[in-house]
Amino acid sequence: MTLKGRLSVKGWMLGLMLPLLLVASARAAQVQGLYNAELLVAEQSVQVAPGLVSEALERVLVRVSGRRDVLNTPALQAGMQNPSRLIKQFSYQSTNIPRVTPDGRKVLAHRLRIEFAPELVNELLAQANIRPLGPTRPGVLVWVVEEKGGVREYLGRDADPVLEGMLGRARARGLPIFRPLLDLQDEAALPVSDAWGFFSRSVLSASQRYQADSVLVGRIYRISGGWESQWQLLWRGQTHEFEGRGDSLDAQLASAVDQAADRLFADFVGGGDMGYGEDGVMLRIDGVRDLDDYMAVTDYLRRQSPVEQLLVDSVADDALTLRLVLNGSLDQLRGVIGLDKRFEPRPQLAGEARGELHYRWDD
């Protein structure tokens, strides 16, 4: 992908078997490998044990749906009785990680990679009336400040092992997160004291450099017997604050990811008017000047989970009008369109039907 006029950063590469695309970009991140899961096993086998398949499938369902409570759905539990039928393929890779076999032998573990068939996983979710969240996810820029011995400083410089709990949970949820460079420009734009104080105006101003969809700011510190943390999530003009959970640092950071993902994904996982049926909803996009614009607009929309079918209604001058048949709600459609800042919302024109959407394309 060409990142025209955008800043390249050292993103946290959160491999989901295929790496998440983590770019400091106005455009939403495309998460790869949603239907894959990896497990460490002591030995290879021609057939994967059902317990391992179930564990891998559970991870995939949480990531694909965007809901950590998805496994509590009775209809889904009934459909998971034979998880092996959903496997597309699996493979093993050697590692240098020690493991103990059931009979007590010390061996080097293998990484079992299971790829599930997307259409079968989606069908399983549909049986429980749950839609996939889709690969387009809001990116999160994360600023974390730790207080230690009365001194406050940013975490996340280079490959900081302290943040492994946050990274691991982000992989599990399919949430693309990246960190700032924390160079002199960042430190001047957002002093540690402003981040610690949750001064949202300063945070947003400093974060404009990265064109992030959302910003998560955390402050962490030791207490007797463990850790505490507070967090501020800035998303679509709203501020959400919450407490970390758990005694360990890993638990605190992982819980912050969970709570941020729950809030961010809530705009895309359901609700709203579902009454558009076979006629679909009309979407007008101005500023579509050439074939490259046309291909970029239609390719983005076709890849979104709420869009079941895209039909071209008309092309006039630089205005492209589409009819979208939805497998989701109008609110979900607005949500995924809003993740790509090339789509600029426009006021409704005279003569447009109520409920029609109107945007301008600005690439």
The answer, yes or no, to whether residue 303 has pLDDT greater than 70, is yes
Domain assignment present for residue 270? The answer is no
Distance separating alpha carbons of residues 54 and 37, to the nearest angstrom: 11
18 burial (CB, 10 Å; 0-12 / 13-18 / 19+) is: exposed
| Domain match, 145 and 256 both | yes
Domain end among 96, 127, 158: 127
Q: What is the pLDDT of residues 226-243, one digit of tens each?
A: 999 999 999 989 999 999
pLDDT above 90: residue 324: yes
Q: Give the per-residue pLDDT at 353.
A: 53
Q: Judge contact between 30 and 14, C-beta under 8 A.
A: no
Based on the domain organization, do 195 and 326 belong to the same domain? no
> Is 294 in the same domain as 188?
no
Residue range 31-41, pLDDT digits in tens: 999 999 999 99
How many other C-beta atoms lie within 10 A of the C-beta of residue 361?
20
- For residue 158, the model assigns a pLDDT of 67
Question: Do 64 and 203 share a domain, yes or no?
Answer: no
Q: Is the dihedral of CA 115, 117, 123, 129 positive or negative?
A: positive
Give CA–CA dist 61/34, Å, rounded.
9
The whole-chain average pLDDT of the chain stands at 86
Q: State the SS3 of the chain.
A: CCCCCCCCCCCCCCEECEECCCCCCCCCEECCCCCEEEEEECCCCCCCCHHHHHHHHHHHHHHHHCCCCHHHCHHHHHHCCCHHHHEEEEEEEEEEEEEECCCCCEEEEEEEEEEECHHHHHHHHHHCCCCCCCCEECCEEEEEEEEECCEEEEECCCCCHHHHHHHHHHHHHCCCEECCCCCHHHHHHCCHHHHHCCCHHHHHHHHHHHCCCEEEEEEEEEECCEEEEEEEEEECCEEEEEECCCCCHHHHHHHHHHHHHHHHHCCCCCCCCCCCHHHCEEEEEECCCCHHHHHHHHHHHHCCCCEEEEEEEEEECCEEEEEEEECCCHHHHHHHHHCCCCEEECCCCCCCCCCCEEEEECC
The verdict on residue 174 lying in a domain is: yes
- Both 253 and 320 in a single domain? no
Domain match, 164 and 248 both: yes
Predicted TM-score (pTM) of this structure: 0.80
User: If pLDDT is split at 50, 70 and 90, which confidence band does 278 have?
Assistant: low
* Model pLDDT, residue 225: 86
- Strands 29-30 and 18-19 come out as unpaired
Mean pLDDT, residues 280-309 taken together: 91
Indicate whether 261 and 139 sit together in one domain: yes
Residues 295 and 209 in one domain: no
pLDDT value at 123 more than 80: yes
42 and 140 in one domain? no
Rg of the chain in Å (alpha carbons):
22
Report the C-alpha gap between 140 and 22 in whole angstroms. Answer: 9
Q: Give the residue from 265, 292, 325 where a domain finishes.
A: 265
Tell me the torsion sign for CA atoms 265, 89, 18, 303.
negative
Tokens 């993103």 found at: 11
> Of 192, 144, 139, which Cα lies nearest the Cα of 166?
144
Residues 192 and 171 in one domain: yes
Let me know how long the chain is: 363
How many angstroms separate the CA atoms of 262 and 227, rounded?
A: 22
- Report residue 266 CA to chain centroid gap: 12
Per-residue CA distances from 340 to 105, 110, 170, 324 (Å): 52, 39, 21, 17
**Number of other residues whose CB lies within 10 A of the CB of residue 8:** 10
- pLDDT at position 36: 97
Quote the pLDDT of residue 270: 57
Q: Which CATH number is 195's domain given?
A: 3.90.950
How many separate domains does the chain show?
3
Domain of 251? 15-30+135-265
Question: What confidence score (pLDDT) does residue 315 get?
Answer: 87
Is the pLDDT score of 336 beyond 70? yes
* pLDDT tens track for 176-191: 998 899 999 999 999 9
